[in-house]
Amino acid sequence: MRTPLVVLSLLAFAACATPPRGAAPEDFAAPDLTAKTVRLSDFRGRVVLVDVWATWCKPCLEALPVYSDLYARRRGDGLVVLGIAEPDGGETSADVRAFLEKRGAAYPVLLDARRRVYDALRVRALPTAFLFDRAGRLRARWSNFDAAIASEELKAVEALLSEPPTK
């Protein structure tokens, strides 16, 4: 009797897991800070680093300048850094914009007020970063942020940028 319960538990956990590496996730859409709808699929043909964060998350704040610098240096080479902010405390787009300006963050940010992106990517912790190749396939995922994770992320981004563009 215990075996079916274990199997059901594992199946439920697997259903909540991140899409497998190499798979194209469900396309998501959310408004940017000017209320324009942006989709992950809008960036096909480019390497995309999705940074899922919140204003109250300390490791998220540590990641902002790293991702801003990376975006500034490599955007001309086909890199998009796309922030996904969860307004957990009820922040408006103006609140998030002011928060980002105060910290000098300089990459596009979407507001995920309804947690649709969180659900599509199956986010379970903050911050979480996802790296998509030029074909839109998930190639890597990291939860949390520190110097070691930043180093891994930068190496993975550089590797994908060095791959020839897909046709």
Burial 87-100 (b: 16+ CB within 10 A, else e): beeebebebbbebb
pLDDT of residue 130: 97
What sections of the chain are H helices per DSSP? 2-16, 58-74, 93-103, 116-121, 147-162
Per-residue confidence in pLDDT tens, the chain, 167 aa: 554 443 333 333 333 445 555 556 678 999 999 999 999 999 999 999 999 999 889 999 999 999 999 999 999 999 999 999 986 767 788 889 899 999 988 899 999 888 888 888 999 999 999 999 999 999 999 999 999 999 999 999 999 999 987 66
Q: Match 């998930």 to its residue by tokens.
A: 138
Spatial separation of the C-alpha atoms in residues 152 and 167, rounded to whole Å: 27
Instruction: For domain 45-162, give its CATH number from 1.10.10.60, 3.40.30.10, 3.40.50.720, 3.30.56.10.
Output: 3.40.30.10
> What's the pTM value of the predicted model, to 2 decimals?
0.84
The domain limits of the chain are 45-162
Residue pair 129/51 in contact by the 8 Å Cβ criterion: yes
